[in-house]
Structure formats: structure tokens, C-alpha cells
Structure 1
Amino acid sequence: MVCFLMEILLDKEGFVQLYDNLPFPNQIIVKYPDSGGGLALIWKNDVKLEVISFTTNHILAKVKEDDGFEWYLTCFYGWPEANQKEKSWQHLAHLKSFIDGPWLCIGDFNAFLSSFEKLSKHPPQHGQVAAFKEALDLCQLEDLGFRGYHFTWNNKQLGDANTRVRLDRVVATKEWREKFQLSSITHLSSHASNHLPIIPQTKSFSLNRFMKDRKFKFKEFWFILDDCEAMIRVAWDRIGHGFASLSSIKEKIETCGVDLFALGSGRSNLDNEEIKQMQKMIETLNEAKITAKNREEFLVVSKQLDELLLKQEIYRAQRSRIS
């Protein structure tokens, strides 16, 4: 698994301090002093990836699959200023000179390919649209399409000031598309950014999860469940009162373990359903016309979703430590 982040405000040291618990031990952070947002590419150990070059507008890497197939990955960030767009296309053409094989390019191009990819009272500049199309044609890159909401960026402004554009996309050469014919691109909903996350999947997989060891291990995330303390008290008092022998203490712990495991498992599934429901609400609110009322609702749902995601993060972090 590979993850590309854009417009990060942290340098390498700050990034490591804040995200050192992520299951991505390999990383390259591109952030120059006194510059704006930077780029970050992080990947897991099972990905064979070699970084070739980088600037504040790109990271170029070569990826090797398990079957020996090699392809190039470019994580791209286009110049956002209107009078700097040509720099993006010159830079993309320059990167092509390093490519000797199948090529996939993903990122925020800060440009769009048709008038249907922009929703705003301000009309699109057709010269910029044509220049983007020409740049992709010269590099032999084609859009891979997507599933999900059409626009990937939203300025979150009210009424006529609102603008939505498909700025983020995935493009690839014919050789790459022929190798990964079952690939798919999905636009996810987001409550914490004005960009939607994009998930490219280059192959299908199934993940069978099961618990091999049901021994009782206290889980940190139980602390943040409202009924945790009461559950422990009830379970503990269920086995005798007064002086407790070692055997009765062991039995108490086992009883607590059974009850807490049931509580944690049930609540985890419940939280997953709540998260899905709130993500669906966020998606609906993102797609709706922005008003003062639904903006307030968006903030409330976002706060609730953050709290649930925090619980889920603590739960998963402990599972990764004990697995």
C-alpha cells in the first residue's frame, strides 16, 4: 500500500513526530523552508518502491510487482496560480523524459479537462482546458475515470461564491492500463479537507480476518467507552465479596474479560455502522448546495465523526501492537 499526501504543512521531523504510529515505515517528505504546502509519499514494507526524483511539485518512483513487472509512479502537484499553469505542463513533459515503461500519474493537477468538471458562476477558461488536454496527449496519459462524487475540490463558500472542481485525478499510459485492466478509482467523501481522497486499486483482493487467540488482553480503547467502568464493577462483584483468593481473582479477571470482549466486539461493530452512516451524511452534505444551516450541520456531524474515528484509531493501534 502506498499513500500520497499533498499540501502538508509539516517538515520531515514534524511529520514523523505526528504520524510515527502509521503503519507506513517508508517515507519521503518534500518540504522546503519558508515554502507553502509540501508533499509526502509513504509506503509499506511489502511494496518494492524506489524513489527516482522529487521537487515540491512531484515525486517520481519506480514500482516493482511480485511477478517482476515494473512501472513508474508520479505523484504530481500542479501550480495553482492561473499564470503559472504552463509550468505544470512543461514539468510533466520533463518527467516523461525519465519514463521508460508503463506510467501512472496521480495528484492534484490544479486543472480540469472539460466545462462539466467545474461548477461555478465563473465560466471556465477554455484555453487552460485545452492546454491541459494537450499536455496529457503529449505524455500519452489518459484519464482512468472514477466512482463517486464528480468534484474533488470544494471551496466551502456559501451560495453563488461556492466553486466545485475536479482538480484531482489519476491518469496512465496504455501499457499501464493493459497490465492493470481491472483497476478502479474511487472518490471518497471527506469532512476534514476541501479535497476528496482518491483511492486507486490496481488489483482485487480478499482479506479474511479471524481471531486466532481469544485470550483476554485488556484493550486501551475500552477506557473511552461510556459503560466500561460499570461493566467492570458488575463483572467483578459477580464473583464473591470480601477477601479474594488468587483463584477467585483469576475468576474475576476471566469474567471481566468475557464481558469486556463482548462489549468491545459489539461496540466496535456498532461504531463501524455509525461511522458509515456519518460518512454517508458527510457525502450528502458535501454534494448539497452550501447554506448556513447545512454548514452548521456539517460541523456537528464532522465533530461526531472525528470522535468515532479517534476511538477506532486507538482500537486499531492497540491491535497492531499485540498482533
Structure 2
Amino acid sequence: MCFLMETRLDKEGFVQLYDNLPYPNRIIVKYPDSSGGLALIWKNDIHMELINFSANHILVKVKEVDGFEWFLTCFYGWPEANQKEKSWKLLSHLKDFVEGSWLCIGDFNAFLTSSEKFSKQPPINGQVDAFREALDICQLEDLGFKGYPFTWNNKRPGEANTRIRLDRAVAMKEWREKFQLNSVTHLSSHASDHLPIILQSRSFGHNRIRRDQKFKFEESWFLWDAYEAVIRKAWNQAEVEGAGLDPIQEKIRLCGEDLLAWGSAKTISDTEEIKSLQKQVEKLIAENVTPESKAEFLGVSKLLDELLLKQEIYWAQRFKIS
């Protein structure tokens, strides 16, 4: 499933631009004015029931193949400082609709610690405390992350530059116990002031393995010198707990996912160049913004856009054929 914010699109506009995506199920929420807008899209193999929605949230109930049910809130907090109290009132209100396990993900337009903000302007402690108190009341705990520490950058040069971790995933204890292998990763982005985040929810069981997507090793991967290093890295990074053969089987499965993702990319033209450009983007994002670095960023972004467009066309054709 995928959650999008600030789309600035109504249902018709969203379908016109994104109808080729392989997500046939959609919930589109339009702001009263031309700004904002939320969209939750998902595939047919995900069983989801809409509970309620507003201009700042979408609440659904998800049912796993093993019968386990949990609640998902896709959240967009008020960005204005004098409106943030509305975010925490809404969060508290949504808790009344939750029965059991709860995950909340999105742009809260707030941060939890001073280390989550890089700016000449000091953080406002009252706002930080209010966000933390709201999560405590709702029994929600931050899931952490991997990658670059800030998810929003105003991209202004020098002392005017501000970077904050605004986007996150938080969950109740019941959800964390069910999906003990969950991970949140901050991805790179050159076209937005926000970084996209990806949440992988994994449990020790096999209930999330789909039979139509079994892992198959491709002999052509032997032609690439890097395949052995990919296997070693994936195996060493797969952190699992437990006794018996289950942890070993889980490590094999996770290793297979990483290897499949790496191997699949070898069939796409310009993949290595795209990865190189993405690394340049990540490096430039992490540096202090100057007129020179901004010009370099725009140049790299333009080239990256061109290659990504080619890749998008490739996958669109592949999807139609299949």
C-alpha cells in the first residue's frame, strides 16, 4: 500500500495522472481549497476496510491472511504553529475507534527531540512536549528509522537552512509485538522537500509470504561480481531472534528478498547510473546548502529525472504486457 500527502488533486485529477499504477483500490481525500490532499492506494491482495477520514487523516482496518486485524491511520498534521493542537486532539479522537493493534504513519509536522531539528532557530519546547504527550496518551511509540536523519529540508542556503524529521511511523505495543521485524527507512528524493519513508512490516511467521512470489535464483546473477557481496551483506544485516530453525529460515527469506531486489534491477537499463545519481543527491542533501551546491543539485536532478522517466516507461510497458 502507498500513502500520499499534499497531492493537490481531487479524485478525477488523481485518476488522470496515476491511473497506470498497479494499485486499483484508492481512497482520495481533497482539501476544501487547492492545497493539500491525501491518497491511500493499495493492491487487491490487501484486505482493508475504511473506518473514517478527514482532510488530515485516513483510518482503515487491515486484516492479515492469518486473521490478525490491526488499525492503520495515515496522518497529516497541521503545519501551522497555532494549529498544532488540532493534530493532537484528532489523534486522541481516533484512538476511540481503535480496538487492539494500531499503527500511525505520515507527516506529523512535529518532532520529538531537539536532535530531530537542524536550524539556527531553537526548537519550541512546548510544541515538542505536546507531541510527546499526545503519543503517550495514545500509547504510540516511535518505530525509529534507517537512513538520513531528517525527512524535510527547506533547501535554503546558509543559516536560513532548516532540516527536520517530520515524517515517521508510530505504533502500539500489540502491533510491534506482531511485526517484530518491522523497519522504517528514509529514502532519497530530489523532486520534493520531503523524503519518502518506507515501512516494512514483517513477523516471524510465514503468513506474509505470497505463493505467487516465490524466490527463484537466476543463473545470470553469477555474471555479476557483486552478487556474493550482496548475499553476505543481506545475511549479516538480517537481525532475527528465537530458537530452532525458524530464525535461520527467516534470515534465508530476508536474504532472498534483498537478492531478488538486487537481481531484478540488473534487467533495467541505466540502473547503475540512476543509483550513482541518487547517491550524489543524497550527498548534496546532507551538505550545507550553497549557491554552488544548489546549482549542482538541480543539474543532477534534471539528469536523474530523464533516466527515471525512461525507467517508468519500461515498467509501464512491462505491466501492461503482464
TM tier relative to shorter chain: 0.7 to 0.9
Amino acid at match of 2:312: E
The residue correspondences of 1:112-131 to structure 2 (distance < 5 A) are 112-131=111-130
Amino acid at match of 1:78: G
For the 8 Å contact 2:265–2:271, the answer to whether it is kept is no
Q: Does 1:107 align with 2:120?
A: no
Partner of 1:262: none
CA offsets 1:192-229 (integer angstroms, 9 cap, x no match) = 10000000000286864689xxxxxxxxxxxxxxxxxx
Q: Does 1:143 align with 2:142?
A: yes
For the 8 Å contact 2:268–2:311, the answer to whether it is kept is no
State the alpha-carbon separation in 2 of the partners of residues 84 and 311 from structure 1: 42
Please state how far the C-alpha of 1:33 moved relative to its aligned partner.
3.7
For the 8 Å contact 2:277–2:300, the answer to whether it is kept is yes
State the alpha-carbon separation in 1 of the partners of residues 34 and 102 from structure 2: 29
For the 8 Å contact 2:4–2:40, the answer to whether it is kept is yes
Amino acid at match of 2:19: D
User: How many positions carry a matched residue from both structures?
Assistant: 269
Q: Does 1:320 align with 2:298?
A: no
Partner of 1:55: 54
**Cα distance change, pair 120–6 in 1 and its aligned pair in 2 (3 A):** same
Q: Whose radius of gyration is greater, 1 or 2?
A: 1
Amino acid at match of 2:289: I
State the alpha-carbon separation in 2 of the partners of residues 157 and 208 from structure 1: 45
**Cα distance change, pair 210–45 in 1 and its aligned pair in 2 (3 A):** farther
Q: List alignment gaps of at least 5 residues for structure 1.
A: 212-264
**Cα distance change, pair 36–266 in 1 and its aligned pair in 2 (3 A):** closer
State the alpha-carbon separation in 2 of the partners of residues 277 and 32 from structure 1: 38
Please state how far the C-alpha of 1:34 moved relative to its aligned partner.
2.1
Partner of 2:198: 199
Partner of 2:226: none
| TM-score, structure 2 normalization | 0.80
Partner of 1:295: 294
For the 8 Å contact 2:154–2:193, the answer to whether it is kept is yes
Q: Does 1:38 align with 2:37?
A: yes
Please state how far the C-alpha of 1:320 moved relative to its aligned partner.
1.1
Please state how far the C-alpha of 1:101 moved relative to its aligned partner.
1.1
Amino acid at match of 1:42: I
CA offsets 1:65-91 (integer angstroms, 9 cap, x no match) = 111100000000111111111111000
State the alpha-carbon separation in 1 of the partners of residues 190 and 123 from structure 2: 26
SS in 2 for 1:8: coil
**Cα distance change, pair 279–306 in 1 and its aligned pair in 2 (3 A):** same
State the alpha-carbon separation in 2 of the partners of residues 34 and 269 from structure 1: 40
For the 8 Å contact 2:187–2:196, the answer to whether it is kept is yes
State the alpha-carbon separation in 2 of the partners of residues 153 and 267 from structure 1: 31
CA RMSD between the two structures: 1.8
Q: List alignment gaps of at least 5 residues for structure 2.
A: 204-208, 219-263
Please state how far the C-alpha of 1:322 moved relative to its aligned partner.
1.2
